């Protein structure tokens, strides 16, 4: 597999936010989201065997592992056996995915955190709709929201597909500036979280505000945290 980095930090998003977690970041992505904070994963990466990755994970001594990218499902053929190994080793496995690749083959006990890209990302039509049938009550669906049009897209998608009844959590996350200042504050969000909360409350949505807490703990552009 092509691996960009493996490290331990705290989980920054999802209902697992704040928990110590090992991150296995795979290289390569087939999308180009306008606000992407992981462009350094688009090329390169170190080639590692499944055994070498397992060894690196075991050495970090933590039973929560997130597989992320890039887009992990581009390496599905090697990724799925790796996931099976983690599950049989007693790990809790999270996987962040863009939602563009088919997810039907991912083991049901993986906690998938599935993006539905909104229009301002420039990839608003990328979601693979049959993935709605691959969602389980373990999963979370995430919308990264940059403006009012994105919010309305996300709100209407949640309602149209009754998403809050299908998954563990629906996450609404303000998009973050690619040129974020070093200050660890909400001024780096493209959409003010307070504004997003006001819209959520006004519409009575059963969704969870999700801030990327690692960008409030460390400088927003710091890698490997
Ligand atoms: S899917 Fe993720 S890694 Fe790929 S361009 Fe979008 S934000 Fe970046």
Average pLDDT, integer, range 129-151: 98
In this prediction, residue 81 carries a pLDDT of 97
Ligand 1 and 33: CB distance under 6 A: yes
Q: What is the distance between the alpha carbons of residues 166 and 197, in angstroms, rounded to a whole number?
A: 22
Atom from ligand 1 closest to the CA of residue 115 = 1
Q: Name the percent of the chain lying above pLDDT 70.
A: 100
Give the span between the Cα atoms of 116 and 144, in whole angstroms.
8
- Tell me the pLDDT tens digit for each residue of 176-190: 988 888 888 898 899
pLDDT tens-digit profile of 20-58?
Answer: 999 999 999 999 999 998 999 999 899 999 999 999 999
37 alpha carbon to ligand 1 midpoint, in Å? Answer: 8
pLDDT above 90: residue 96: yes
How many CA atoms lie less than 13 Å away from 76 in the CB half-sphere? 11
Assess whether pLDDT exceeds 90 at residue 194.
Answer: yes
Residue 100 beta carbon below 6 angstroms from any ligand 1 atom: no
Residue 17's pLDDT is what? 97
How much is the pLDDT for 179? 83
CA of 70 to the centre of ligand 1 (A): 6
Ligand 1 mutation pick, 25, 33, 122, max ligand atoms within 8 A of CB: 33
139 within ligand 1 shell (Cβ under 6 A):
no
Number of residues assigned to the chain:
225
**What's the confidence (pLDDT) of residue 224?**
82
pLDDT tens, residue by residue, 60-93? 999 999 999 999 999 999 999 999 999 999 999 9
Residue nearest to atom 8 of ligand 1 (CA): 36
Q: What is the pLDDT of residue 152?
A: 98
Ligand 1: residue whose CA is nearest its atom 1: 98
The answer, yes or no, to whether residue 106 has pLDDT greater than 90, is yes
Copy the structure tokens of residue 31: 């999308």
Task: Tell whether the torsion through CA atoms of 22, 182, 40 and 215 is positive or negative.
Answer: positive
Give CA–CA dist 192/187, Å, rounded. 7
Mean pLDDT of 194-213: 97
For residue 183, give every residue at least 6 positions away whose Cβ sits within 8 Å of its Cβ, in sequence order, or none: none
The CA 165 to ligand 1 mean position distance, Å, reads 26
Smallest CA separation from ligand 1 atom 6, residue: 33
- Paired sense of beta strands 208-209 and 169-174, if any: parallel
Ligand 1 pocket, residue 71 CB under 6 Å: yes
The verdict on pTM exceeding 0.85 is yes
Mutate to test the pocket of ligand 1, among 13, 43, 70, 178 (most ligand atoms within 8 A of CB): 70
């Amino acid at each position: 597999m092509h691996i960009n980095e493996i490290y331990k930090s705290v989980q920054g998003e999802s209902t697992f936010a704040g928990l110590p977690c090992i991150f296995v970041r795979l290289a390569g992505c087939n999308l180009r989201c306008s606000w992407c904070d992981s462009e350094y994963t688009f090329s390169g990466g170190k080639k590692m065997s499944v055994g070498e990755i397992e060894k690196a994970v075991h050495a970090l001594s933590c039973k929560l592992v997130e597989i992320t990218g890039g887009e992990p499902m581009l390496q599905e053929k090697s990724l799925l056996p790796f996931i099976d190994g983690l599950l049989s080793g007693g790990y809790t496995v999270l996987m962040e995915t863009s939602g563009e690749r088919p997810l039907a083959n991912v083991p049901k006990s993986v906690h998938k955190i599935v993006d539905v890209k909104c229009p301002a990302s420039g990839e608003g039509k990328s979601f693979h709709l049959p993935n709605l049938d691959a969602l389980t009550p373990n999963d979370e669906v995430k919308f990264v929201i940059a403006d009012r049009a994105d919010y309305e897209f996300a709100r209407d998608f949640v309602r149209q597909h009754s998403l809050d009844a299908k998954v563990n959590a629906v996450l609404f996350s303000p998009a973050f500036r690619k040129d974020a200042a070093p200050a660890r504050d909400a001024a780096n969000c493209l959409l003010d979280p307070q504004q997003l909360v006001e819209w959520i409350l006004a519409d009575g949505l059963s969704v969870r505000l999700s801030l990327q807490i690692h960008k409030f703990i460390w400088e927003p552009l710091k890698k490997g945290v």
